[in-house]
Amino acid sequence: MLRDVVPEAARRFGDTAALVDGDGVPLSYLELHLRSDEVAAGLAGKGLGPGSVLGLRLPACAEYVVAYVAAAKAGLVTAGVNPRLTAAEQAKLLDVAGPDLVLDDRGAVDELRIPDGVAPELADDPDRPVAIVFTSGTTGTPKGAVFDGRRIAAITQLDVGEEWGGGGRMIASTSLAHIGFMTKLAWYLRRGTTTYMLHRWRAADAMRLVNDVGITSVGGMPTQLAMMLQVPDFDSYDVSSVATIVLGGGPASPALVAEGATRFGAPVSVRFSSTETGGCGTGTAFDDPPSSEVGVGLPRGPIRITIVDADLRPLPTGEVGEICVHSPTTTRGYWRDEAATAALFTADGSVRTGDLGRLDSQGRLHLAGRSKEMYIRGGYNVFPAEVEAVLADHPAVAEVAIAPKHDDVMGELGVAFVVARPGAPAPSLNDLRTFAAETVSSYKLPDEVRVVDALPLTPMDKLDRRTLGEWAVGSAP
């Protein structure tokens, strides 16, 4: 897919900047095509081709993209490694991938270039692996979800169809090794989008890009939007260029959606997906109201959602269970891990996401958290995400997350960690319990509140539930 899209994009968009590095240096569509051809020739000259694995341990930079495209042109599969992980974590990922070549710095990409070289001829094979994308969990053995040309084509079809052009300016809000870039680069290029990269994403830097270059689409994790809204003097930035906001990678409260839409003056779509589903799943419409009634929206395109119990039996409308996704965009399996691959799929080929949720009568999906996040208070199941969504609407709450701690009587109790809104008094336990009492059953409400400056985040800027759990049992933030 990338092998075909890049030269056509170069023909259509030529000198338009495809990428702009964190230091402000642009790389045009034509330059991306020519440089990736030269690197592809260099890879082939080293005897690398179909069946070979390229490991990329690079920051968000143009060289990462050139190398990834070059690998696709030469028939290699690319395994990206998030440089924000610890050295030990990175080593584990590379051990899983088993790369034939690892590129650790930007200069190593240029050293592969053969001047005026061209990519080798390859037989058309939509089943040839293109990308290995590692799951972003903070515990357990890492697993690499594999995506071939057929699946990347399905993702591109779902997101942009047959359309060329019409793209604007966006910020790469995640590591380039993330599912949101690895499987969607093809359609960014198809649209003629200019992608601005930050060596490390920071809210203030993102806001400066919005102001200075006229970013047209803001995307990322809900936590990233929340941090942008908390940037001092937010209202002094020119955000008039922003036409849409797309959030994924975690639950977004109606309060956050409403505030983002109001202060940016742009509609918001909230998406649900996972690494294994190719970053595709459900989504709210841009004209949906910021309400808990719409959840995370309806299945997109050909995607089918089912909710199952522990025995993988379908549950009726309204009941909470594991979310399963059937789609042509899902991974073909985990890299060199047959046992994990077998456990990933249901009998009909749906991916088990490990996320909990329910479908309403309109077919909209509502999230209830991860199966491992549930805790039991006094014999009753509590799903933190359900309670967090309600508490986030409190006018004094900027962000909130709940983790359990042991209790000899109740089994487990909920501890709410709250980031207060600037200028607002920190809410008390009674404030939060009273606020949510009409919406959430009393046994689900937190038993303790701790006010913190910021919630812990993973290297992917998702809420770090493991660290939150350590805080709950006594480790100081």
Q: Which domains does the chain have, with CATH numbers?
A: 2-359 (3.40.50.12780), 374-472 (3.30.300.30)
Kind plus residue range of the DSSP H or E element containing 342: helix 338-344
142 vs 141, higher pLDDT: 142
Q: Are 164 and 192 in contact (CB under 8 A)?
A: yes
Sign of CA dihedral 37, 91, 178, 196: negative
Nearest C-alpha neighbor of 58 from the set 214, 205, 197, 216: 197
CA pair distance 237, 214, nearest whole angstrom: 11
Residue 476 pLDDT level (bands cut at 50, 70, 90): low
Note the pLDDT of residue 138.
46
CA pair distance 191, 208, nearest whole angstrom: 24
Note the pLDDT of residue 307.
98
Residue 463 pLDDT level (bands cut at 50, 70, 90): confident
The yes-or-no verdict on residue 239 having pLDDT over 50 is yes
The yes-or-no verdict on residue 137 having pLDDT over 60 is no
The yes-or-no verdict on residue 1 having pLDDT over 70 is yes
Residue 136 pLDDT level (bands cut at 50, 70, 90): low
Q: Lowest mean pLDDT: which of 9-18, 224-233, 246-255, 305-314?
A: 246-255
Sign of CA dihedral 459, 460, 461, 467: negative
Cβ neighbors of 277 (< 8 A, separation 6 or more) are 303, 325, 327, 329, 330, 331, 351, 353
Note the pLDDT of residue 475.
67
CA pair distance 453, 465, nearest whole angstrom: 16
